């Protein structure tokens, strides 16, 4: 277990976008397993419930045995320590991302020195995408095609149709 190269890709994934998917797929050759882990933040209001966000990720990567989805409510470093994980995966889109990641990465290093953060520069095609734009588009009745993958789009539509009925 300890010798496996397992990475955690933490985020809210509200919902998972083409940008997230691209980082995960590009990181696959680097790791034996990637856990896409949804950090539960009680202060953050999400559009999609936790189980729905996990279902989007699981459906999208159902044919990729190296990718798992999970959630955690502790510090990311504690989740990693408890699960014997030595790598964190993050994507870098912009200089603003870098400044944010620099602070988080150095803080995590102080909290757990043997945890390494691995950064991938994001694919230029997706670097403008973020989950909050997808939520904005959806909340105004727009079509987020091109921001999320087709299977995720279908699940979002099914979820939205279900919430309208109830």
Query: Which residues contribute to the site for ligand ADP (CB under 6 A)?
Result: 11-13, 17, 19-20, 22-23, 90-91, 93, 97, 122, 126-127, 129-131
- Our CB check for ligand ADP shows the closer of 3 and 51 to be 51
- Our CB check for ligand ADP shows the closer of 108 and 122 to be 122
Catalytic (active site) residue 131: yes
Q: Which of 20, 53, 60, 90 is catalytic?
A: 20
Do residues 119 and 90 lie in contact, with contact meaning Cβ atoms separated by under 8 Å? yes
Beta carbon of residue 108, minimum distance to ligand ADP (angstroms, whole number): 13
SS3 66: coil
What's the DSSP call for residue 40? P
Q: Number of helices (H) and strands (E) in the chain: give both, helices first.
A: 6, 5
CA distance 1 to 147: 35
Catalytic (active site) residue 22: no
Residues classed as catalytic: 20, 44, 93, 131
């Amino acid at each position: 277990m300890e010798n496996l190269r397992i990475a955690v890709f933490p985020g809210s994934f509200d919902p998972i976008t083409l940008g997230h998917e691209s980082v995960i797929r590009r990181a696959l050759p680097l790791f034996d397993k990637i856990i896409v882990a949804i950090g539960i933040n009680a202060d953050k209001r999400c559009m999609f419930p936790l189980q729905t966000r996990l279902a989007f990720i699981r459906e999208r990567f159902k044919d990729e045995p190296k990718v798992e989805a999970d959630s955690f409510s502790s510090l990311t470093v504690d989740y990693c320590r408890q699960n014997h994980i030595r790598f964190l995966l993050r994507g870098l889109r912009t200089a603003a991302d870098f400044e944010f990641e620099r602070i988080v990465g150095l803080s995590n290093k102080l909290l757990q020195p043997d945890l390494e953060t691995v950064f991938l520069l994001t694919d230029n095609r997706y670097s403008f995408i973020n989950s909050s734009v997808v939520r904005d588009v959806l909340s105004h009745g727009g079509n987020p095609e091109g921001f999320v993958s087709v299977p995720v789009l279908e699940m979002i539509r099914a979820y939205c149709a279900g919430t309208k009925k109830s």
